[in-house]
Amino acid sequence: MTYTVIATWVAKDGEEDTVAGILRVNAEATQAEPGCREFTVWRETGQPRTFVLYEVYDDEAAFQAHRESEHFKRYVLDDVVANERLEQRFAKFYEPLDPD
């Protein structure tokens, strides 16, 4: 069963291009992880500070491994979070609906 994460990031005013660059690099590294089936980042039309991350993993363990990866720590925790580049960051978690 796959494990899906849909995260929303809202960059602080003036940080949107920096955040976009970090997301590009992090996405490329994440897509190469074992257990990652998809990692796609969108930027909201008309709201250039808002990003949506669509992540699909083999299972929750693969997602947790992603959160422990060197690139996640380097780009997300040690840069975006530590430098307070975001106004808002949240995620929702999904699993497939089994057919009846």
Average pLDDT, the chain: 96
Q: Residue 56 CA to chain centroid, in angstroms?
A: 10
Domain residues of the chain, as ranges? 3-94
Mean pLDDT of 3-21: 98
What pTM did the predictor assign? 0.92
> Domain 3-94 carries which CATH code?
3.30.70.100
| Residue 43 in tokens | 């930027």
Task: From 92, 82, 69, 74, select the one nearest 5 (Cα to Cα).
Answer: 92
What would the pLDDT profile of 28-65 be if each residue is shown by its tens digit? 999 999 999 999 999 999 999 999 999 999 999 999 99
